[in-house]
């Protein structure tokens, strides 16, 4: 399998002295944020508090970006376009009229291909039902598994395209797409294939066959892990860049997760994310999901998660609104006065996958978005 970390970086030129040919020019930006410290004549002033030093985001005021054949070839001040760029008559020129231009967002944990609707579970959660209670009543992941198994691949692909359109509208240009709602070889393969529907959003794919024990294996979790390790993962080599496992209460134990990860490593498949396993064994992983993690300091997160972190803080509201009484029903609260967010973004380029929340309090839980 290809390791996405080995892919080449875009060829960008900042302040080039010779004309650079382009076929797309984005101009008239109030700011171009390059995320390359020292790239621009001005940088973000950063937070004003004394304990937070200024952050250099490589901001170019009144900037422009040029691309050729889908690759960035020049970034610089608007005033330098005439001498720096060769802009042919048929080039696409976009005037952003004073907007900011930033890099596309990367969402490192998504479920892209699934069917069904579990919106009613939000009401149950807001009414006090726990995740495990809903799962034991036939809802939760297995509810989505049933609907996804019944869906045809072309229907899942159409749903994926609609969701990718939404990702793109909200600024996400690259994402990881997990399977995990098929839980048979045939249905996991169907999910992965549907996730590759034609669309400009760049994707890497994760086989999450070890998402939950399917209903037909109830009480036989180890037997299902046998199936994942002996049949599903080997058969799907080449169809997913990563493998993953849900290691948590009500899902799989550390020992079971270790079996999945050992199998994946033997097959040459890089490992995805499993926060509980990372805590237990300090497993080397690409990214760790900080969903309901309550760290006392940002340094604790860096220590525990090592390579990277994804703070999915909205999950505590949309998925677990009553978790440990720390979040009131439907109320969005900040994490550590944003210091945890700031630290993860600075050290790991972490993303905060969440649709925009327009109000602090919602009476209708459906407004928080529908997720599997």
Instruction: Give the CATH number for residue 34.
Output: 2.30.40
Least confident of 8-12, 85-89, 106-110, 117-121: 8-12
Judgement on whether residues 97 and 109 belong to the same structural domain of the protein: no
Q: Write down the H helix ranges in 170-291.
A: 185-194, 221-227, 233-235, 254-266, 275-281
Supply the pLDDT for residue 40: 66
Band (317; pLDDT cuts 50, 70, 90): very low
Same domain, 362 and 255: yes
Q: Is residue 224 predicted with pLDDT exceeding 50?
A: yes
Task: Pick the last residue of a domain from 84, 101, 118.
Answer: 101
| Whether pLDDT at 192 is above 60 | yes
pLDDT at residue 48, as a whole number: 47
Do the beta carbons of residue 90 and residue 73 sit within 8 Å? no
Identify whether residues 128 and 55 lie together within a single domain: no
Nearest to 295 by CA among 280, 283, 279: 279
Percentage, residues of the chain above pLDDT 70: 64
Burial class for 199, CB neighbours closer than 10 Å (0-12, 13-18, 19+): middle
Please name every residue paired with 9 in a beta bridge, in sequence order, or none if there are none: none
Q: Could you tell me which residue, 281 or 104, shows the higher pLDDT?
A: 104
The mean pLDDT value for 94-119 works out to 90
For residues 113 and 302, which has the higher predicted lDDT (pLDDT)?
Answer: 113
| Mean pLDDT to the nearest integer, 144-162 | 97
**CA-to-CA distance for 16 and 76, rounded, in angstroms?**
8
* Confidence band for 72, pLDDT divided at 50, 70 and 90: very high
Rounded mean pLDDT of the chain?
Answer: 75
Q: Of 77, 101, 125, which residue constitutes the final position of a domain?
A: 101
Angle of the 141-150 helix axis to the 185-194 helix axis, nearest 10: 80
The whole-number pLDDT of residue 53 equals 59
* Mean pLDDT across 255-270: 90
Q: Which of 180-189, 212-221, 275-284 has the lowest mean pLDDT?
A: 275-284
122 lies in the same domain as 192: yes
Q: Which of 43, 74, 101 is the last residue of a domain?
A: 101
pLDDT of residue 39: 73
Do 145 and 96 lie in a common domain?
A: no
pLDDT digit string, tens, across residues 46-58: 444 445 556 778 8
* Range with top average pLDDT, 51-65, 127-141, 170-184, 326-340: 170-184
Of 300, 301, 317, whose CA–CA distance to 371 is shortest? 317
Strands 59-68 and 85-86: what pairing?
unpaired
Cα distance between residue 345 and residue 301, in whole Å: 12
CATH number for the domain that contains residue 270: 3.20.20.140
Statement to judge: residues 292 and 265 lie in one domain: yes
- Poorest-confidence range of 26-30, 90-94, 367-371? 367-371
Q: Count Cβ atoms within 10 A of the Cβ of residue 13 and give its class: 0-12 exposed, 13-18 middle, 19 or more buried.
A: middle
Which helix H or strand E contains 207, and what residues bound it? strand 202-210
Query: Are residues 265 and 349 located together in one domain of the fold?
Result: yes
Its domain, for residue 181, covers 105-368
Top pLDDT among 254 and 188 is at 188
What pLDDT, in 10s, does the model give residues 344-356? 444 444 344 444 4
- Is the pLDDT assigned to residue 45 strictly greater than 80? no
Structural contact between residues 233 and 209, judged by C-beta atoms closer than 8 angstroms: yes
Residues 225 and 271 in one domain: yes
How far apart are the C-alpha atoms of 107 and 273, rounded to whole Å?
13
CA distance to 82, 167, 211, 240, per residue, from 174 (Å): 32, 9, 23, 15
- Residue 176 near residue 203 (C-beta atoms within 8 A): yes
């Amino acid at each position: 399998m290809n390791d996405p970390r080995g892919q080449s970086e875009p060829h960008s030129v900042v302040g080039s002295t010779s004309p650079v040919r382009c076929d797309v020019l984005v101009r008239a930006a109030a700011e171009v944020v390059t995320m390359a410290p020292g790239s621009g004549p001005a940088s973000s002033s950063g937070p004003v508090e004394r304990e937070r030093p200024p952050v250099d985001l490589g901001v170019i005021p009144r900037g422009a970006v040029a691309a050729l054949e889908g690759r960035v070839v020049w970034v610089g001040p608007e005033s330098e376009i005439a001498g720096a760029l060769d802009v042919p008559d048929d080039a696409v020129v976009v005037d952003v009229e004073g907007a900011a231009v930033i890099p596309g967002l990367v969402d490192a944990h998504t479920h892209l291909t699934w069917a069904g609707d579990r919106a009613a579970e939000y009401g149950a959660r807001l009414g006090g039902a726990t995740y495990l209670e809903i799962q034991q009543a036939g809802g939760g992941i297995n509810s989505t598994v049933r609907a996804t198994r019944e869906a045809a691949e072309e229907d899942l692909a159409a749903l994926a395209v609609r969701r990718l359109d939404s990702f793109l509208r909200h600024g996400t240009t690259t994402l990881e797409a997990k399977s995990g709602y098929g839980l048979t070889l045939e249905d996991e393969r169907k999910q992965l294939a549907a996730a590759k529907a034609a669309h400009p959003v760049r994707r890497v794919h994760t086989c999450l066959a070890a998402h939950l024990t399917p209903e037909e294996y109830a009480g036989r979790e180890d037997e299902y892990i046998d199936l994942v390790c002996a049949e599903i993962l080997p058969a799907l080599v080449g169809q997913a860049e990563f493998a993953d496992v849900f290691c948590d209460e009500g899902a799989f134990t550390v020992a079971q997760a270790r079996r999945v990860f050992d199998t994946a490593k033997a097959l040459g498949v890089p490992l995805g994310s499993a926060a509980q396993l990372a805590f237990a064994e300090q497993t080397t992983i690409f990214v760790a999901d900080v969903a309901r993690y309550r760290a006392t300091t940002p340094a604790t997160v860096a220590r525990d998660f090592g390579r990277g972190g994804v703070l999915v803080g909205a999950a505590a509201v949309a998925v677990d609104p009553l978790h440990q009484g720390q979040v009131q029903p439907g109320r969005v609260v900040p994490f550590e006065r944003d210091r945890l967010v700031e630290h993860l973004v600075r050290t790991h380029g972490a993303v905060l996958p969440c649709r925009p929340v327009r109000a602090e309090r919602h009476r209708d839980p459906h407004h928080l978005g529908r997720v599997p």
